[in-house]
Amino acid sequence: MKLAISDLLEILDLEVLEHNLFRGRSPQVGWQRVFGGQVIGQALVAATRTVEPQRSVHSLHAYFLLPGDPKVPIIYEVDRIRDGRSFTTRRVVAIQHGQAIFSMSASFHVHEPGLMHQVPMPNVPAPEELPSDEDIKARALPLMPDPVRAYFERERPIELRPVEFRRYMSREPMEPRFNVWIRATGRLPDDPAIHQCVLAYASDMTLLDTSLVAHGRTVFERTIQAASLDHALWFHRPFRADDWLLYSQDSPSAGDARGFSRGLIFSRHGELVASVAQEGLIRPRDDLA
């Protein structure tokens, strides 16, 4: 197993402190703040550990309140709101330095049969037809701006194969859509809850950046102050996060220094497995140019 995915599984394996109380740590990689997807994934782990295994999460709704400090642990406090006949509701608050930095509500549901439909998957090249991480590093990195190059040089637990890759090499405004194949870089345990928590982590990786496509900008620029403000995720069907998933994103609106983005996540066989929505801060800081 690659080191990055092994580290992610360790980060998601929270320490139990007390009934409904957990502690998580952050990777010590020199980041100035905690990655939002990490907090979502850890909060979902905390909530899941208080729910009987016959029920799986079907939705979560989260707010980022303060930047996380990667140098100190994060305490996750779970409130068992309701345990019903079919649904279970949990609220999780992440705490650092005595203050709430994140809050999340999650709902869990027993499996039951019902009506089914879904929209079709976009017609995009398969991941095998796109540049791999190695190809990107060999051919495209020299053409990228420094912040983007630094991002792709770093070992990550999630492999990305962007379809519209040229947006990283140009400041040309484009249609606000972004498709990227994603998967964990190593084999994951078979527990479906782990795959849901890993996807929750990955769902925050590229979504906010989609709101900048229409402006020819990226979150990697020092002249953009970017931060996730809220995040919603719905799980529709079983999946494996270590198989290729298409993350098809668009941004219907941006204004008042906030960008709104949506995402549909499909298995490579075309099943819609999850949906995502997020609003984030995309404040221009051209005074830093």
| 3-12 and 192-202 helices, crossing angle to 10° | 110
Q: Is 228 a catalytic residue?
A: yes
What pLDDT score was predicted for residue 131?
Answer: 82
Confidence of residue 203 (pLDDT cuts 50, 70, 90): very high
Catalytic position from the list 42, 211, 228, 251: 228
Side chain identity at 284, as an amino acid letter?
P
pLDDT of 150 > 90? The answer is no
**Residue 115 domain flag:** no
Q: Which residue has the higher pLDDT, 221 or 62?
A: 62
Confidence of residue 244 (pLDDT cuts 50, 70, 90): very high
What pLDDT score was predicted for residue 71?
Answer: 92
Q: What mean pLDDT comes out for the span 195-204?
A: 97
Domain that holds residue 53: 1-110
What pLDDT score was predicted for residue 140?
Answer: 60
**Residue 121 domain flag:** no
Q: Is 249 a catalytic residue?
A: no
Average of per-residue pLDDT values in the chain: 91
Catalytic position from the list 196, 251, 275, 278: 278
Q: Is 278 a catalytic residue?
A: yes
Q: What mean pLDDT comes out for the span 234-241?
A: 98
Confidence of residue 152 (pLDDT cuts 50, 70, 90): low
Written as six digits, the tokens of 36 are 């939002």
Q: Which residue has the higher pLDDT, 99 or 146?
A: 99
Domain identity same for 18 and 93: yes
What pLDDT score was predicted for residue 172?
Answer: 85
Domain identity same for 90 and 141: no
- Residue 207: how many CB atoms within 10 A of its CB? 27
**Residue 149 domain flag:** yes
Domain identity same for 87 and 209: no
Give the predicted TM-score (pTM) of the model: 0.92
Task: Note the pLDDT tens digit of each residue in 3-13.
Answer: 888 999 999 99
Catalytic position from the list 203, 204, 251, 261: 204
Q: What mean pLDDT comes out for the span 232-256?
A: 97
Domain identity same for 279 and 156: yes
pLDDT of 151 > 70? The answer is no
Domain identity same for 95 and 160: no
Long-range contacts of 38-41 (CB under 8 A, 24+ apart): 38/11, 38/68, 38/201, 39/64, 39/68, 39/74, 39/94, 39/101, 39/102, 40/104, 40/200, 40/201, 40/203, 40/204, 40/231, 40/233, 41/11, 41/12, 41/197, 41/198, 41/200, 41/201
Number of domain units in the chain: 2
Question: Which of 54, 79, 110 represents a domain boundary (last residue)?
Answer: 110
Domain identity same for 89 and 137: no
Confidence of residue 46 (pLDDT cuts 50, 70, 90): very high
Q: State percent of the chain over pLDDT 90.
A: 77
Which of the 8 DSSP states describes residue 128? G
Q: List the CATH number of the domain containing 68.
A: 3.10.129.10
**Residue 116 domain flag:** no
Domain identity same for 170 and 279: yes
Domain identity same for 85 and 48: yes
